[in-house]
Chains A and B, each alone.
Chain A
Amino acid sequence: QKEVEQDPGPLSVPEGAIVSLNCTYSNSAFQYFMWYRQYSRKGPELLMYTYSSGNKEDGRFTAQVDKSSKYISLFIRDSQPSDSATYLCAMRGQGGKLIFGQGTELSVKP
């Protein structure tokens, strides 16, 4: 079983839609959870960073962590064509290495 599971997509939505991206994980020691966005031919850039369970909001983006279910989500409201990218979840425990999901390819159509 992979430590982190992420649906690779591709996911295609119309402009303005609410997008939900998800990852599940198996290691209960994970405490730090991140979402990276990677545009084509670029390196990943950190989008959201959360510690332990709960929600974090930044503009149109909301990250949710449910440690009891070992499930994290990234919601994008009012999605824009510029949001088209691959979204990577990543997580780690205290002092551990960063473990990435496979990435979900998102396309937002005008």
Chain B
Amino acid sequence: ETGVTQTPRHLVMGMTNKKSLKCEQHLGHNAMYWYKQSAKKPLELMFVYNFKEQTENNSVPSRFSPECPNSSHLFLHLHTLQPEDSALYLCASSQGRGPGEQYFGPGTRLTVT
């Protein structure tokens, strides 16, 4: 186990639903990230939080709304998604925003119908 957990592991939702993804890290890190992984495409960075403050929003549509209540927990709130949002959503954490290693969770496989 990498010390980063994500729930749920699988999620199927309709375009009008509202759901949330949860990430928790047990590594004592202070930076957390959301990535989107689509088939045959590189990982796309979505959001970065450092000490609970959002430091990067990579032009992500407003139907994705992140929340970081503390350095150990990160949420991604989803509403009115589109079928093209179906992907694997990965959470990662690291010690600071420097060149240190990022540790990934197992991901949430999201399908939008």
Contact = CB atoms under 8 A, between A and B. Distances in A.
Nearest to B4: A43
A30 B46 CA distance: 20
B105 A43 contact: yes
Interface residues of A, number: 28
Nearest to B101: A46
Contacts, number: 53
B97 A95 contact: yes
A31 interface: yes
Contact of B106 (A32, A43, A95, A97): A43
Interface in B74-113: 90, 92, 97-99, 101-107, 109
A65 interface: no
Interface string A78-110: 000000000010101011011111110000000
Interface string A40-59: 01111110010100000000
